[in-house]
A = this chain, B = another copy of it.
Amino acid sequence: MAGPAVAALRPLSRSRLHENVAERLSQFVRETHMRPGTRFPPERELAGQLGVSRTSIRQAIAVLEAQGFVEVRHGGGMFLRRSVDFGESLHKLLERRRRLPDVLEAREALEVKLAELAATRRRKEDLIAMHAALRKMEAEVEAGGIGTDGDAAFHHAIAVASRNPVLVRLIDELAEAIKESRIESLSEPGRPPRSLQAHRRILDGIEGLSPVKAVRAMRRHLREVADVSLLRWQPDESDDGEARA
């Protein structure tokens, strides 16, 4: 099907120029021990020194500014905002290596709280959504599937019911990584029914306005999920990019 799997012939990763620029700026911040508030060299100078056009510099800057690492003042210059983890967006962190165990721990932290809040603030429409998600999962499983969609919908409904947009955003940020673990877990023989049971217990707590019960059920559920996927996890560190000009 595919060509020979020779290591030397794997596709070489080209990166966009502005990404390299951002990388260099991070390096610059680290190496010069810049303090927050310090001004960067002007764009034209950076362009000259890095040997790229001002446009590329400005693309990198736009990204860094959107991520809150720098502040740009028209006519004034560009200033450092936070030096910690400069240029390392969460999205980038999750992409570079699959830190599944870490992701699952973070998931537990967030979802347990989401369940607690949901058990306090849920409205009628939230319960309707949760029940619908449960039925969807049942239908999927009966149809021979593993129920990932219904599962995702259920957890999403809880997030919505928490009425906390910040927490929702945080869990969303992890959504992609969680999705993978979900597939792996639900592919386990006998898992979907167990998961369904766990969901019902969680819903009981939320519906009954019992945060304690909801929290306990959610924590138990997530630990079970994590257990399974963790057993199969093999860390693979040979996953760095090669764009390190």
Give residues 174-214 of A contacting B (CB, 8 Å). 174-176
Q: Closest CB-CB distance, A236 to chain B, in whole Å?
A: 16
Is residue A221 within 8 Å, beta carbon to beta carbon, of the partner chain? no
Q: Closest CB-CB distance, A188 to chain B, in whole Å?
A: 23
Contact flag A91-B106 (CB < 8 Å), given A18-B62, A58-B59, A59-B58: no
Judging by beta carbons under 8 Å apart, are A164 and B102 in contact? Answer: yes
Chain A contact residues: helix, strand, loop or mixed: helix
Is residue A85 within 8 Å, beta carbon to beta carbon, of the partner chain? yes
**A contacts, CB < 8 Å to B:** 14, 16, 18, 55, 58-60, 62-63, 66-68, 74, 82, 84-85, 88-94, 99, 102-103, 105-106, 108-110, 112-114, 117, 164-167, 169-170, 172-176
Q: Determine how many copies of this chain the complex contains.
A: 2
Q: Closest CB-CB distance, A213 to chain B, in whole Å?
A: 18
21 contacts between A and B (CB under 8 A): A16-B62, A58-B59, A59-B59, A59-B62, A66-B66, A82-B176, A90-B169, A93-B165, A93-B169, A99-B165, A102-B165, A102-B166, A105-B113, A106-B164, A106-B170, A108-B113, A109-B109, A109-B113, A109-B167, A170-B170, A170-B173
